[in-house]
Amino acid sequence: MKKIYGNELLISTLCNMVKSGRTAHTVLFYGEKGTGKKLMAKLYTSLLLCKNPINNMACGICSSCRNVENESHPDVTYAVTSGKLGGYSVDTARKICSDAFIKPNNDSGRKIYIFRDCHNMDIRTQNTLLKIIEEPPDYAHFIFTAESKNDFLPTIISRCVCFGVSPCTEEETELSLAESGFRETDIKSAVSCFHGNIGMCTEYIKNEDLRKQVDLTKLLADSIIRKDEYALNTVLFSLGKERNDVKTVLSMLDKLIRDSAVLIHDKEAENIGCFREGAIKLSYMITSRIAEKIHRSIEKAWNTIECNVSIPLALSALCAEITEIII
Ligand SMILES: [Zn+2]
């Protein structure tokens, strides 16, 4: 298994949980995209199934560990998504519920079900799963990953042990990216945009589309700084019609606005956004109140797009709102 950077406390908690035999049957790993939630799900799975743990840690070399790593372990089921939005259907939940009552065949003595990226999991699906989560067989474990706890019903959350997964330090991210064999110049520019988020930094280096989205976010910030409604409109329309792409850019713009609000009070503050220079310029020309208003408008557009409303419509409303706020 590759070295995992950051989240030391979380990792040692998981190790201790398994060592002491007090393993949680339902676990949720939550945190922003790219922080390593799926990696944590894999780590917990390896800990549960490893045949020869070394110092409380999964060995990484036994057949179980290797199968978990390759996602081919017979006792590990990755729930499959369906539909346009990639959700989990009631049917999938039902199949997993009935499968969970069949005892494991293999020597691990455990069965593990993993639901990744449970963004907005259908309420009916959650209610179907609730039955098994309330009283799981001794050998069954359920692992969820999601960006937020709010993606779940309170009844599900109350039965989960929830672990927040955090970004690393920038130094750790640089080390991890260097270990993956990336070039130093690429690492520097990735870390300047995505800081301690190893997943997003990796994506930035590998994926040209994300680099374009970062550039578009910077152009949006520039249009706001120049109070140029026409440019703002043009850039917003160039985001395209792909829901997730537009949401990514809006999220990045939102972080940048958050940074400028923080920089108003502390010029040395650390950033979470992708464009420090832009955030600094903005911090000189807006107040916290204006930053908050822009944030609300972005949030509104984001939610509207999430609800399947026409993207151009949501974006032109956003353009009009931001222009009204800054002019
Ligand atoms: Zn092992």
Q: Which of 44-48, 197-201, 306-310 bottoms out in mean pLDDT, i.e. has the lowest?
A: 306-310
Same domain, 218 and 315: yes
CA of 141 to the centre of ligand 1 (A): 18
CA atoms within 13 A on the CB side of 101: 9
Q: Do 290 and 307 reside in the same domain of the chain?
A: yes
Indicate whether 91 and 219 sit together in one domain: no
* pLDDT tens profile 183-233: 999 999 999 999 999 999 999 999 999 999 999 999 999 999 999 999 999
Average pLDDT (171-194) is 97
Task: Find the CATH number of the domain harbouring 152.
Answer: 3.40.50.300
Q: Which of 187, 159, 183 is nearest to 173 (CA)?
A: 187
In a domain, 95, yes or no: yes
- Nearest residue to 78 via CA among 104, 52, 111: 111
Domain range enclosing 113: 8-164
Q: How far is the CA of 113 from the centre of ligand 1 (A)?
A: 19
Total domains in the chain come to 3
- What is the residue-wise DSSP string for 190-223? HHHHHTT-HHHHHHHHH-HHHHHHHHHHHHHHHH
pLDDT at 224: 97
Same domain, yes or no, for 184 and 160?
Answer: no
115 and 217 inside one domain:
no
Identify whether the C-beta of residue 18 lies closer than 8 Å to the C-beta of residue 46.
Answer: no
Report if residue 259 sits inside a domain. Answer: yes
Cα(105) to ligand 1 centroid in Å equals 19
pLDDT over 70 (residue 1): no
| Residue range 244-299, pLDDT digits in tens | 899 999 999 999 999 999 999 999 999 999 999 999 999 999 999 999 999 999 99
Residue 211 sits in a domain whose CATH number is 1.20.272
Q: Are residues 191 and 51 in the same domain?
A: no
What gap in Å lies between CA 298 and CA 301, rounded to an integer?
A: 5
- Cα 94 to averaged position of ligand 1 atoms, centre (Å): 31
